[in-house]
Amino acid sequence: MASPNALDFLLSSIEKTWHDVGVRATPLALLTTSLALLLPIISLYLLALSQREQPTPPPAGCRKLNKSGTSNLSDQFAKKYDHGGEPSASNAWKVKALMVYPLKSCGGVELEKAEVGHTGLKYDRQFTFAQQVTSLPTLEGKVKSEWTFITLRQFPRLAKVEVEMWVPDPKAPGYHKDGEWVKSDGCIVARFPFSPDTEFSVAGIKNYGKILAAKLGGRSEPMVEFRIPFDPKKDIIAARGYRKEPVKIFDDVPVALNVGCDLSDEIVDQLKYTLGVSNPLTIFRIDPDSPRLVLQNAPKKEDVGFQTAIGMQDAHPVQIQNLASIHDVSSRVPSRFRPLNALRYRPNIIFTGPPAFEEDEWKKARFGSLTLDISCRTTRCKLPNVDPLTGIADRNEPGTTMRKYRVVDKGSKAACLGMQVTPLDEGILIVGDEIKVLATGEHYFIE
């Protein structure tokens, strides 16, 4: 609605215009003309109000799992982290932030504390989008069609998919031990931006109202929501029609649970449009009983008592990142890319204290009460070139800058930043936990 100052300006402008053309401006005439001019604005405002998105009820019996209040990364760009962190009496190196990404390559969930197992942080990268890829015919006329995972590398708009993790809580409204979400150990709630058709029709006018309402609410587009049970049991799998199918993840082809097969055609089509996917699209969940084994750049089973395994992660259970190292890269990229957001690098654990790249030589460390095997350096592809806030990928940066001085592992020609980690203990990791390096040495990445 027009403010008093804006209304005064409108009235004075009308009065001046009428005076210039020799028309007498009576109060009634001024009011009538003002209402006529304001009517379209009022109509659009009322249309937007009528089409506002109504919040959906929380998943019954669950609470949202996230850090409350201000993000621990709210000051990540502060200069005090350029050389490790703010000096303290103990000069301790500490865990600054914890992140999980339930749906691979999509928005992350920040935590204040995390459950850590041998396969990584609980809830991290248990799901992935996948598209059906069909090969060209062979000379014999045969074609191969298979589900293949997708990431930010090919589809930067995945960064615009917001994800929430909801977990069972007896104190939450609607809690019942046999409730669908409770039995499934919670659910993920995903939202993605989609602007509906605004062609001239009743439906098109309403859709325009939805877009206007989103903009008035601070969003660029309306959001579409869907929910998926986190760990569905047999009865829910049968009821929803989930099925186990092979999905290709790099060179792995694990049999995983296709949980996207019961999404409505409308939501799938909207997702494909938003992400820029033209092939059939679905979502897979890793089979908890059949995780993917890590046989290279990882501790040996005979040494630690278990075989390193992962869900939908690229290579290892956990990725750790020194904030000072990101600041160093940020100081070298062209100014239009500064400052670099730490979330470009999709870390699970962000820590402060050590100087930049001190972690390159770590072999074993204690984070809080947990001992971690620092398995190898994180070799970097083009994924960090995607801005996590906009979902826009740059052709070159920060990858080009990193390749100039961060090709540091004799086993790889890729730039490195961060370390890949295998937890040797299971337990709880908390923001603020202190870090102690237990062993150092040389790393040699095995492709």
- Name all domains of the chain by residue range, CATH numbers in brackets: 4-50 (no CATH), 66-123+291-447 (2.40.33), 127-285 (no CATH)
Is-contact 351 94, C-beta < 8 A?
Answer: yes
Residue ranges with strand state E in 223-311: 223-229, 243-248, 255-258, 281-285, 292-293, 309-310
Q: Please give the Cα distance from 118 to 188 (Å, whole number).
A: 22
Which pLDDT does position 24 carry in this prediction? 60
Is-contact 416 378, C-beta < 8 A?
Answer: yes
Which pLDDT does position 199 carry in this prediction? 73
Q: Please give the Cα distance from 336 to 342 (Å, whole number).
A: 16
Using CB atoms within 10 A of its CB, is residue 261 exposed (0-12), middle (13-18) or buried (19+)? middle
- The predicted model scores a pTM of 0.88
Which pLDDT does position 125 carry in this prediction? 97
Number of residues in the chain:
447
Q: Which residues of the chain have pLDDT under 50?
A: 1
| Closest of 274, 160, 305, 151 to residue 219, by C-alpha | 160
Phi, psi at 83, each rounded to 5°:
-120, 25
Using CB atoms within 10 A of its CB, is residue 188 exposed (0-12), middle (13-18) or buried (19+)? buried
Q: Please give the Cα distance from 1 to 5 (Å, whole number).
A: 12
CA distances from residue 363 to 179, 268, 374, 377, 436 in whole angstroms, order as listed: 45, 44, 5, 10, 11
Which pLDDT does position 228 carry in this prediction? 97
